[in-house]
Amino acid sequence: MNQPFTVAIDGPAAAGKGTISRAVAARFGFAHLDTGALYRALGVKGGDPVAAAQSLASEDLARDDLRSLEAGAAASRVAAIPEVRAALLEFQQRFARRPGGAVLDGRDIGTVICPEAEVKLYVTASAEVRAQRRWLELGGDPAQVLAEVRARDERDMGRADAPLRPAADAVILDTSDLSIADAVALAVAEVEKALRP
């Protein structure tokens, strides 16, 4: 496929959007972008964050240290700069329309970054299920993990700039009671439907 084809996958933390995005990209041979990694890459890159955002390249996203605590702390600092967000908007839109197809996952892909995406999925699950998944991944106090998931949802859904919400034409994929294989199969079916001539 040489023409652009964009799959936008949004949803709250621990709903499964990253897992589904990677699987869909692999299944169709599309490029994949975890948009949260952009802010981490800028934080790790250092220097002037606006200049770094304007010159961000795919290689910057392949670094081994993007999941470090330092990268996360730096990401939250640069994410608050409006000029950084504007520069990253352009990067994400260019990535989305590259030839050969692209899958982007985040919180505002279908609503802000790629409102014209050929496929829009909103991957969600109950707060309790997502907290359980996060707890299995990271450990800690289960009640505290649930409180953090709910607080994150409130922040993401309540912010003035690009709040987390499904696009009007997004397909809602609730993974609360689905296996990974079943969730991926449903996402793949939506992409296949959109690819049919």
CATH number for position 27 = 3.40.50.300
The structure tokens listed for 161 are 């700039």
Name the 3-class secondary structure at 69. helix
Question: Does the pLDDT value for residue 149 go beyond 90?
Answer: no
45 is in an annotated binding site: no
Q: Is residue 34 one of the residues assigned to a domain?
A: yes
- Asked if residue 18 belongs to a known ligand binding site, the reply is yes
What pLDDT is recorded for position 72? 66
What mean pLDDT is predicted for residues 71-94?
A: 82
pLDDT reported for residue 115: 96
Tell me, what's the pLDDT at 64?
Answer: 87
pLDDT the model gives residue 48: 94
pLDDT in tens, 26-43: 999 999 998 888 988 998
* Residue 6 marked ligand-binding: no
The pTM of the full predicted model, rounded to 2 decimals, is: 0.85
Token pair belonging to 17: 């959007």
- pLDDT at res. 187: 98
Say which amino acid occupies 2: N
Determine the pLDDT at residue 163: 81
For residue range 5-25, list pLDDT tens digits in order: 999 999 988 899 999 999 999
| C-alpha dist (Å) from residue 180 to 19, 27, 107, 123, 176 | 8, 14, 20, 12, 10
29 is in an annotated binding site: no
Please, are residues 137 and 66 in contact by the beta-carbon 8 Å criterion? no
Annotated ligand binding at 175? The verdict is no
Mean pLDDT computed over every residue of the chain: 90
Does 73 have pLDDT greater than 70? Answer: no
Domain membership flag for residue 139: yes
Residue 2 has pLDDT above 90, yes or no: no
Cα dihedral angle (54, 75, 116, 86), rounded to 10 degrees?
-40
The response to whether 197 counts as a known ligand-binding position is no
Instruction: Examine residue 22 and state whether it is found in any structural domain, yes or no.
Output: yes
> What is the domain range of residue 159?
6-195
Q: Is residue 126 a part of any domain in this protein?
A: yes
> 113-131 burial, b for 16+ CB within 10 Å, e for fewer?
bbeebebbbbbbbebebbb
**Alpha helix (H) residue ranges in the chain:** 17-28, 36-45, 49-54, 69-78, 82-96, 127-138, 142-158, 180-195
Our count of domains for the chain comes to 1
Confidence at residue 167, expressed as pLDDT on a 0 to 100 scale = 95
Residues 95-127: pLDDT tens digits? 999 999 999 998 889 999 999 999 999 999 999
* Whether the Cβ atoms of residue 125 and residue 14 lie closer than 8 Å to each other: yes
In a domain, 152, yes or no: yes
Specify if 1 maps to a domain.
no
Residue 16 marked ligand-binding: yes
Residue 76 has pLDDT above 80, yes or no: no
176-194 pLDDT tens trace? 999 999 999 999 999 999 9
- Domain annotation covers residue 106: yes
